Amino acid sequence: MPPEAKTAQGSGSGSPSVVPTRLEIKRSPSDVPLSPPEDVPVFQVDDLSVYYGSFRAVRDVSMTVCERQITSLIGPSGCGKTTLLRCFNRMNDLVEIARVAGKILYHGVDLYHPDVNAVEVRRRIGMVFQKPNPFPKSIYDNITFGPKVAGIKGNMDEIVERSLRRAALWDEVKDRLKESAMGLSGGQQQRLCIARALAVDPEVILMDEPCSALDPIATGRIEDLMEEIKSEYTIIIVTHNMQQAARVSDMCAFFTAEVNETSDTRTGVLVEYDKTEKMFSNPSDERTENYVTGRFG
């Protein structure tokens, strides 16, 4: 067991975990560059590559993701954004042929250390998918499902109300909590999925193109919601919408897919990672400029 992992115990998932809880998280300065010194690193990605079988989908990613910031991942289709995003909560463990090389530290703890409980990781680091995927249950049961599975004690009515309020959905559904979630509109369903992710009190929320199926009004509501909850959560969002990345994120990472000379495959590489403002006004790499100005991709 790594020394930094000795004290932490998983809460509620049954087996021990070395992932630090919010209370146990020690703030230590990052030794991976790219973030201003006042920022608190949550993830330190170091030379990360992801393989599906022998195919390397993403290579050599190094970046620091900081607390209470919104970090956007942008780049053309197939450059590995979803693949990388899934590494942050070990969702790739569920893909049999996926393998990760390099390191992701989460508050200084190696996320892929054998002692780390992946179920606990996914409670601390929640995920919202591209397509809203509510369970075919009531609105109420959608929210209480996660807390019950995680063994979270507490008043479920309060958890439901708090989660729905945080996701800016409460007023629209408070009189129909026992009705099926499938009867909600797409935008409401996506906010329900965000509420469901918030219900287990995560620290980080990963969002994979959360607005791609939504109209501009519903998209605006999700963006407002992200802005509101960012004081409490760390958010990483994949988006194809440049305006959205520019509007909501503090930091932005641009990836592209390089053609491998020996095979006809493409591998995703991180081209540039910087403050969003700089990425969209004065990027360092010509490839970033071409992409954010719409000349490529």
Pairing of strands 251-259, 234-238: unpaired
Tell me whether residue 76 or residue 102 sits nearer to Mg ion (CB atom): 76
52 binds, among ligand ATP, Mg ion, none (CB under 5 to 8 A by kind): ligand ATP
Tell me whether residue 80 or residue 126 sits nearer to ligand ATP (CB atom): 80
End-to-end CA distance of the chain: 44
Kindly identify the residues of this chain, within the stretch 92-121, that bind ligand ATP according to CB under 6 A: 95, 97
Kindly identify the residues of this chain, within the stretch 200-259, that bind ligand ATP according to CB under 6 A: none
CB of 238 to Mg ion, least distance (A): 6
Kindly identify the residues of this chain, within the stretch 23-82, that bind ligand ATP according to CB under 6 A: 52, 57, 77-82
253 binds, among ligand ATP, Mg ion, none (CB under 5 to 8 A by kind): none
Q: What's the Rg (C-alpha) of the chain?
A: 19
CB of 251 to ligand ATP, least distance (A): 18
Tell me whether residue 30 or residue 239 sits nearer to ligand ATP (CB atom): 239
Inter-CA distances, 244 with 126, 284, 290, Å: 21, 21, 17
Q: Does 297 bind ligand ATP (CB under 6 A)?
A: no
Count Cα neighbours of 190 within 13 Å in the Cβ-side half-sphere: 23
Q: Does 82 bind Mg ion (CB under 5 A)?
A: yes
SS3 annotation, 50-117:
EEECCEEEEEEEEEEEECCCEEEEECCCCCCHHHHHHHCCCHHHHCCCEEEEEEEEECCEECCCCCCC
Tell me whether residue 167 or residue 253 sits nearer to ligand ATP (CB atom): 253
20 binds, among ligand ATP, Mg ion, none (CB under 5 to 8 A by kind): none
User: How do the residues of the chain divide into helix, strand and coil, expressed in percent and rounded to 5?
Assistant: 35, 25, 40
Please say whether the beta carbons of 237 and 210 come within 8 A. yes
Widest Cα–Cα separation across the chain: 60
83 binds, among Mg ion, ligand ATP, none (CB under 5 to 8 A by kind): ligand ATP
Residues 6+ apart with CB under 8 A from 162: none
CB of 132 to Mg ion, least distance (A): 16
1 binds, among ligand ATP, Mg ion, none (CB under 5 to 8 A by kind): none
231 binds, among Mg ion, ligand ATP, none (CB under 5 to 8 A by kind): none
Number of residues located near ligand ATP, criterion CB under 6 A:
11
Please say whether the beta carbons of 229 and 256 come within 8 A. no
Residues contributing to the site for Mg ion (CB under 5 A): 82
The contact set with ligand ATP (CB under 6 A) reads 52, 57, 77-83, 95, 97
